Amino acid sequence: MSDMYGLLGVSRDASADEIKKAYRKIARELHPDVNPDPAVQDKFKEVTAAYEVLSDPQKRQQYDMGGQGFGGQGFGGGFGGGGFSDIMDAFFGGGGNRGPRPRMRQGQDALIRVQVTLAEACFGTDRELAIESAVICSTCNGNGCANASAPSMCQVCKGRGETQQIQKSFLGQVMTSRVCAPCSGFGTIIQDPCRECAGEGRVRARQSIPVKIPAGVETGNRMQLAGRGEVGAGGGPAGDLYVEIVVEPHEFLIRDGDTLHMEVEISFAAAALGTKITVDTLDGQSELVVKAGTQNDATVSLKGHGMTRLRSGSRGDLIVHIVVMTPTKLSREQEKLLKEFAKSRGEVVGDSHTKDKNQSFLGKFRDSFGR
């Protein structure tokens, strides 16, 4: 290649702006869309390669220092690597042929929410999801054509997917590219579209998808089912299906991570004397020992009766909150006995002790869950 500065007609100390202006002036005269002479096109390629080097400070410095790799077909492997087309895009609005759009495209992901009971969330469950989504058209097998035909080349763009027009600009007459209207940029036209999918290659259909919901899930957890989402246009690969879990509120159990909470009411006498009670859990009925002298808001734990931990498979605990029920109506005999009981303990009816006490633990849970 000749001296790059000489090709652009600038001195070695020319500024970047001077180099750019010089290239524009020469490009206006030598651009292939203006002057199709093969000899001129070769000259234009040399000028463009020179500009690509001298407009880049780092490459220009390497060239000025006598660096190698800037001869022959230009630096960086000539015009096949993309530098030439980048310059064409910058100066002439479009550059090389972008090619036709593919008819087969990737499908979209889909999301479905599944409600499960607290017991199902604890132990896991199997579900059959009935969903409506895009599936491959079985009539045309996704190509969109009827009668086993195939798309034919667009006669307007000759399969390029774009048309070219010559317009006037500050550079003179330049060629611009636009999406081909008759084929919508695909480069092909479906002359005989499938009646079932109207040439889309996909149809809407209901399908049943089996899903195994693991033990330990909670509201907001998502499961990804690869390739079970929407099939793409032209029978393209399907996206993924995301299953989002929503755990329904339980009648009397409240969840906090892998711990469950519940309230149990017992009588004043049972709290004072102690007792054994039966409570309902996710595992069925379990016996709970209430020690003598149990106070209101006391808690008793049932180990391993809470929620399953999603990753380990182990179980949390069930915390039982004791609510001591004070009798509201007493017979004269009961009232007499209770007074005698208080007297025997040295208690005086009407005595009180001020005690700071926050809202019960379970009450806070009920407020936080709006229950």
Tell me how far apart the alpha carbons of residues 267 and 294 are, in angstroms, rounded to a whole number: 11
C-alpha 12, offset from chain centre:
54
Arithmetic mean of pLDDT, 24-39: 73
What percent of the chain has a predicted confidence (pLDDT) above 70?
80
Q: Among 73-77, 172-176, 268-272, name the most confident range.
A: 268-272
Residues 121-160: tens digit of each pLDDT: 999 999 999 999 999 999 999 999 999 899 999 999 999 9
Arithmetic mean of pLDDT, 28-46: 73
Arithmetic mean of pLDDT, 192-198: 93
What's the Rg (C-alpha) of the chain? 40
Query: Given pLDDT bands bounded at 50, 70 and 90, which one contains residue 349?
Result: low
> Position 335: which residue type?
E
Residues 240-285: tens digit of each pLDDT: 999 999 999 999 999 999 999 999 999 989 999 999 999 999 999 9
Q: 38-52, 124-138, 305-319: lowest mean pLDDT where?
A: 38-52
Residue with the larger pLDDT of the pair 359 and 182: 182
Arithmetic mean of pLDDT, 213-221: 95
Q: Compute CA distances 65 → 46, 70, 83, 179, 295, whole Å.
A: 20, 12, 22, 45, 91
Arithmetic mean of pLDDT, 195-202: 93
Arithmetic mean of pLDDT, 108-133: 95
* 306-316 residues labelled b (16+ CB within 10 A) or e (exposed): bbbeeeeeebb
Spatial CA neighbour of 286 closest among 269, 310, 264, 314: 264
Strand stretches in the chain, DSSP E: 110-116, 125-136, 152-153, 162-169, 172-179, 188-189, 202-213, 222-225, 241-247, 254-256, 259-267, 275-281, 284-290, 299-302, 318-325
- pLDDT of 19 > 50? The answer is yes
Query: Given pLDDT bands bounded at 50, 70 and 90, which one contains residue 77?
Result: very low
Contact 19, 54 (CB under 8 A): yes
Residue 170 has a pLDDT of: 59
- pLDDT of 2 > 70? The answer is no
Residue 23 has a pLDDT of: 85
Q: Which domains does the chain have, with CATH numbers?
A: 4-92 (1.10.287.110), 110-145+193-247 (2.60.260.20), 152-189 (no CATH), 254-368 (2.60.260.20)
Q: For 272, phi and psi rounded to 5 degrees? A: -75, -40
Residue 83 has a pLDDT of: 42
User: For the chain, how many helices (H) and strands (E)?
Assistant: 9, 15
Q: Is 0.75 surpassed by the pTM of this model?
A: no
Residue 69 has a pLDDT of: 45
Residue 12 has a pLDDT of: 87
- pLDDT of 350 > 70? The answer is no
- pLDDT of 371 > 70? The answer is no
